[in-house]
C-alpha cells in the first residue's frame, strides 16, 4: 500500500466519519502509521492484548500492519473507528482528562460509527455484537482504566 493511497483513504474516511458522527472535519488530517502487532500491543496496552488500532492524543493513529486496508472492508472499519476517536479529540467534546465513564462513551460512539459505516458499505445492516454500547468487557468502572483503554486499543 502506497503512502498516497493511505492519504487518500484517510481523507475519504474522515468525510464519512464526520458525516456519520456529526463532528466537524478537523483542520488537519491525521497521520496513519502501520506498525508490527507486538509494537502496537506495547504502545496501546503495555502487554500482549487484542488490539488492532490505537489513537493516543495527537494527530497520529497506529494500526496493526497485518491489516489489509486496501482489500478488507473490516480492516478499513477499524480505521473508521480510530478516525472517530481522532474527531472526538479534535472537537474537544471529551476534554483532555478521561475518566472511565467518558472512555466508555468514546468507545461506544466509535463502535456505533464503525458499524454504521460497515452497514452503508455492505448495503445491509451489520449485526453488532451483543453488548455493544455497554462495553461488557469492563467488569467494573474505575476512575482510570488500566492503560486508559482496558487493553483494547481505542
Q: Does 36 fall in a domain?
A: yes
Four-CA torsion 102, 151, 70, 85, nearest 10 degrees: 10
Residue 134 scores a pLDDT above 70? no
Q: For the residues 3-26, what does the mean pLDDT come to?
A: 96
Structural domain count, the chain:
1
Residue 125: band (very low, low, confident or very high) from pLDDT cuts 50, 70, 90: confident
What's the helix, strand, coil split of the chain in %, to 5? 45, 10, 45
Residue 133 scores a pLDDT above 60? no
Q: For the residues 147-152, what does the mean pLDDT come to?
A: 42
Q: Quote the domain boundaries for residue 32.
A: 3-148
Handedness of CA 77, 81, 86, 92 (dihedral sign): positive
Q: Which DSSP category does 127 fall into?
A: -
Distances (CA, A) of 110 to 2, 20, 49: 26, 10, 19
Q: Does 154 fall in a domain?
A: no
**The pTM of the whole model exceeds 0.75:** yes
Residue 60 scores a pLDDT above 90? yes
CA atoms of 121 and 69, how far apart (whole Å): 14
CA atoms of 63 and 33, how far apart (whole Å): 6
Q: Does 85 fall in a domain?
A: yes
CA atoms of 16 and 72, how far apart (whole Å): 17
Q: For the residues 81-109, what does the mean pLDDT come to?
A: 87
pLDDT at 137: 47
Q: Does 20 fall in a domain?
A: yes
Amino acid at each position: 500500500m502506497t503512502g498516497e493511497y493511505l492519504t487518500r483513504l484517510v481523507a475519504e474516511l474522515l468525510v464519512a466519519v464526520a458525516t456519520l458522527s456529526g463532528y466537524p472535519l478537523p483542520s488537519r488530517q491525521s497521520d496513519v502509521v502501520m506498525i508490527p502487532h507486538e509494537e502496537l500491543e506495547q504502545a496501546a496496552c503495555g502487554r500482549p492484548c487484542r488490539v488492532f488500532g490505537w489513537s493516543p492524543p495527537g494527530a497520529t493513529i497506529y494500526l496493526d500492519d497485518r491489516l489489509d486496508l486496501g482489500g478488507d472492508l473490516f480492516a478499513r472499519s477499524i480505521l473508521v473507528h480510530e478516525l472517530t476517536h481522532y474527531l472526538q479529540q479534535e472537537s474537544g467534546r471529551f476534554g483532555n482528562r478521561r475518566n472511565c465513564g467518558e472512555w466508555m462513551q468514546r468507545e461506544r460512539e466509535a463502535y456505533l460509527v464503525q458499524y454504521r459505516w460497515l452497514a452503508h458499505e455492505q448495503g445491509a445492516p451489520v449485526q453488532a455484537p451483543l453488548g455493544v454500547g455497554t462495553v461488557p468487557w469492563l467488569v467494573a468502572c474505575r476512575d482510570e482504566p488500566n492503560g486508559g483503554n482496558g487493553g483494547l486499543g481505542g
